[in-house]
């Protein structure tokens, strides 16, 4: 549905070379899917979104929607944003404070050149307000809405135009934590029920994992990995992706050799470790092993190496109780590992603790930094 190919967007600077905000960005989004551009501030995700919207003019590349090219440097095409029929919701909702909820949602229809009839406007607006569960507040002043309601009103205003593409730029960032989590479900429901092809920009990994069919992780203007949330989380291809998505432990190691089909032995600070890798690892290769805290099984009694699992012992350095789980820092060898476990664990600081880690949960990432 949306196709972005070789997109490059630069900003000129008063002195020095231009800033390369988006570099060779390419991805495809099927109709009705929720696609997220995820990355830290300054990584190029908002520039990419604004380029799709037509609010920025790229320096090169091509953007097409449903087979219609809206930008192409090679063909000299640039369709202005008001002719792209895209809905967009920004970080600041830009709600008109002097208007009612209904008037805010109706505004895009009221200012169209081919303005619909009053009845059509009434039907369309009440339809989108019902979709975002605001139809009962149609006559309320917009200033009397909560933050979550304003966010839904901004969505309704974008939806009333029946956009081919919905573009969302960190729309939940101004909400408090509890409301933000509730709005994730609302946003997912609205997107699913309306079959909207959606491009979402965020720096929040939780939002990206919860909402997306597919995620593109960006760094320094480039896409470094694209995939479904589970694949991005379980199989990061770089240390940046592993570190940025959720919490992880890194162990620096050196490959000793292959021990079986897609299995390799690696020397690490906590001892020899068996890792699973679909990529061929060569003997002597430096690697970083990424291990998620929830994948480190803890026990106060000795553990058996079931399924060839890695077994280690260490001592508890610190514990943090977080309600439904406990974060435990374990000193093993010369390394410190963080584990996330059930609060029933009774061991305390200084006690010996045993660890079991499945080779499938030890992700080997080729280390390109060390010599």
Check if CATH label 3.40.50.300 holds for domain 2-240. Answer: yes
pLDDT band at residue 371 using 50, 70 and 90 as cut-offs? very low
What integer pLDDT is reported at residue 369 of this predicted model?
46
| Extents of the domains making up the chain | 2-240, 247-366
Provide mean pLDDT across the span 10-37: 93
Q: What is the pLDDT of residue 296?
A: 96
- Give how far the C-alpha of residue 102 lies from the chain's centroid of Cα atoms, to the nearest Å: 32
The CATH number of 247-366, from 3.40.350.10, 1.25.40.10, 3.40.50.300, 2.40.50.100, is 2.40.50.100
- Is the pLDDT confidence value at 224 over 70? yes
Q: How many Å separate Cα 316 from the centre of its chain?
A: 33
What is the tens place of the pLDDT at every residue in 37-51?
999 999 999 999 999
| DSSP code string of 87-99 | EEE-SS----TTS
CA atoms within 13 A on the CB side of 280: 1
The predicted model gives 53-78 an average pLDDT of 96
Q: For residue 56, what pLDDT is reported?
A: 94
Per-residue burial over 116-141, b if 16 or more Cβ lie within 10 Å, else e, is eeeeebeebbbebbebbebbebbeee
Q: What is the pLDDT of residue 73?
A: 96
Summarised one tens digit per residue, pLDDT across range 105-120 is 999 898 888 889 999 9
**pLDDT value at residue 111:** 85
pLDDT at 15: 83
Q: Quick one: pLDDT at residue 96?
A: 85
User: What contacts 97, CB < 8 A, 6 or more positions away?
Assistant: 141, 142, 143
DSSP string for 113-127: TTPPPHHHHHHHHHH
pLDDT at 367 over 90: no
Q: What is the pLDDT of residue 368?
A: 60
Looking at per-residue pLDDT, the higher value among 314 and 369 belongs to: 314
pLDDT of residue 59 exceeding 60: yes
Averaged pLDDT for residues 286-292 = 96
The model's pTM: 0.88
pLDDT of amino acid 79:
96
The pLDDT value given to residue 337: 97
DSSP 229: H
Q: Which helix (H) or strand (E) holds 288?
A: strand 286-291
């Amino acid at each position: 549905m949306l196709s972005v190919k070789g997109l490059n967007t630069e900003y000129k600077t008063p002195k020095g070379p231009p800033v390369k905000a988006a570099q060779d960005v390419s991805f495809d989004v099927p109709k009705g899917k929720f696609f997220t551009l995820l990355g830290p501030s300054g990584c190029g995700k908002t520039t990419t979104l604004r380029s799709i919207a037509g609010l920025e003019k790229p320096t090169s590349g091509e953007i097409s929607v449903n087979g219609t090219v809206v930008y192409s440097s090679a063909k000299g095409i640039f369709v202005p944003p008001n002719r792209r029929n895209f809905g967009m919701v920004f970080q600041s909702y830009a709600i008109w404070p002097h208007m009612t909820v209904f008037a805010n949602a109706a505004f895009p229809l009221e200012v169209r050149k081919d303005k619909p009839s009053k009845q059509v406007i009434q039907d369309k607006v009440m339809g989108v307000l019902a979709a975002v569960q605001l139809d009962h507040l149609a006559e309320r002043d917009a200033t009397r809405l909560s933050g979550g309601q304003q966010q839904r009103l901004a969505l309704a205003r974008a939806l009333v135009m029946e956009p081919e593409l919905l573009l969302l730029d960190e729309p939940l960032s101004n909400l408090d934590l509890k409301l933000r989590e509730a709005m994730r479900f609302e946003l997912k429901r609205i997107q699913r029920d309306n079959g909207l092809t959606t491009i979402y920009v965020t720096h929040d990994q939780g939002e990206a994992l919860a909402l997306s069919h597919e995620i593109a992780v960006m760094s320094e203007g480039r896409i470094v990995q694209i995939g479904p949330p589970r694949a991005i989380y379980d199989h990061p291809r770089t240390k940046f992706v592993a570190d940025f998505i959720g919490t992880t432990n890194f162990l620096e190691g050196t490959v000793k050799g292959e021990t079986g089909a897609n299995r390799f032995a690696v020397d690490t600070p906590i001892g020899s470790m068996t890792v699973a890798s679909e990529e061929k690892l060569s003997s002597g290769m430096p690697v970083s092993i990424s291990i998620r805290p929830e994948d480190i099984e803890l026990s106060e009694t000795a553990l058996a190496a079931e399924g060839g699992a890695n077994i280690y012992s260490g001592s508890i350095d610190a514990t943090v109780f977080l309600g439904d789980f406990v974060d435990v820092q374990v000193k093993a060898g010369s390394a410190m590992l963080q584990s996330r476990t059930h609060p029933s664990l009774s061991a305390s600081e200084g006690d010996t603790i045993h660890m079991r880690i499945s080779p499938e949960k030890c992700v080997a990432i080729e280390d390109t930094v060390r010599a």
